[in-house]
Structure 1
Amino acid sequence: MSTTTEFVPPRSGRIDKKYNRVPGKKGNFEMLAWLFMRISGLFLIVLIFGHLITNLLMGDGIHAIDFGFVAGKWANPVWQFWDLAMLWLAMLHGTNGVRTIINDYADKDRTRFWLKAVLYFSTIVIIVLGTLVIFTFDPCIPGSPLEVCK
């Protein structure tokens, strides 16, 4: 007694309807998000290792990092934009990764919506606050005994 089964080639396009979250929607957002993760990951490697090398291996290392070190570093616009790029890329990279996890594991549409709403809100808040800190940082606190403020 032999049984015959129909040969279905891999990736034949036969996907069960229950896995289609938005039927009929065609677009390349997920492909662009995938590409963004790869490109931003490469840039983050350069930014993070550059940050670690200049902060920890140059000069006195970790013992030199204090308020004055950050004030001196952020007095240079190059380091402001370096840290800004690191902040923005890290937050967007992480948000995209968490968005993918939410899409994979949240079964209900309502749960998925609220998890993503909290994710996007917190991302915007952290990016805005981090950007404000980088560009409005003033080491000269009134009444401060720092040398740079006199």
Structure 2
Amino acid sequence: MTVIESPRTPARPAPRRGRNLEKWGWIYMRASGVALVVLVFGHLFVNLMVGEGVKAIDFGFVGGKWADPFWQWWDVLMLWLALIHGANGMRTIVNDYTSPGAVQRILKGALLVAAVVLLVLGTLVVFTFDPCPAGSPAELLPSFCPAA
């Protein structure tokens, strides 16, 4: 005799209660996407429209911009939001196209390592950038450096 289960019987166990990380990942993607639109268009406007436009972007332009803590934090926030947004998107793709197991864990671990390394290096570049390094020949320094 064959028994057919009731159609209302769940195929899998009910989801566990507590923190729902997928929900928070989904919310982060929406919030960071909106913030990134503002940050990226602000970045593009300042770099391309204000002043002399794209022909003025050089080492001195970046050095002068990053001399202001406001622009340092603007660029770091854009870096962090974009990298975490992209890594979370890639994590979603890994979840969609791989089965749970060793391969999925390795791919997610590689994503995590890559994101952390890029976040640390990018943040260090922005906050430790010195356009006027001590001991450099004056002819190699930008015009705004005291020794130039």
Short-chain TM bin: 0.7 to 0.9
Equivalent position to 2:144, from 110, 135, 148 = 148
Distance verdict in 2 for CA 1:34–1:13, change over 3 Å: farther
Say whether 1:100 aligns with 2:96. no
Say whether 1:89 aligns with 2:89. no
The CA distance in 1 between the partners of 2:143 and 2:71, in whole Å, is: 21
Contact 2:131 2:141 in 1 (8 A): no
The runs of at least 4 aligned residues of structure 1 exceeding 3 Å deviation read 12-15, 23-27
Q: 1:51 maps to what in 2?
A: 43
Deviations 1:47-105 (A, max 9, x none): 00000001011111110100000000000000000000000000011111111110111
Name structure 2 gaps, 5 residues minimum: none
Distance verdict in 2 for CA 1:13–1:95, change over 3 Å: farther
1:1-150 → structure 2 map (5 Å cutoff): 14-15=10-11, 17=12, 25-26=16-17, 27-141=19-133, 142-143=136-137, 144-149=140-145, 150=147
Q: Name the aligned partner's letter for residue 118 of structure 1.
A: A
Distance verdict in 2 for CA 1:14–1:145, change over 3 Å: same
1:146 Cα deviation (Å)?
A: 2.4
The CA distance in 1 between the partners of 2:127 and 2:111, in whole Å, is: 24
Aligned residues: 137
Normalized against structure 2, the TM-score is what?
Answer: 0.84
Normalized against structure 1, the TM-score is what?
Answer: 0.83
Distance verdict in 2 for CA 1:77–1:107, change over 3 Å: same
Distance verdict in 2 for CA 1:24–1:41, change over 3 Å: closer
Two-structure CA RMSD over aligned residues (Å): 2.2
Q: Does the residue aligned with 2:74 lie in a helix, a strand or coil?
A: helix
Q: Does the residue aligned with 2:144 lie in a helix, a strand or coil?
A: helix
Distance verdict in 2 for CA 1:74–1:109, change over 3 Å: same
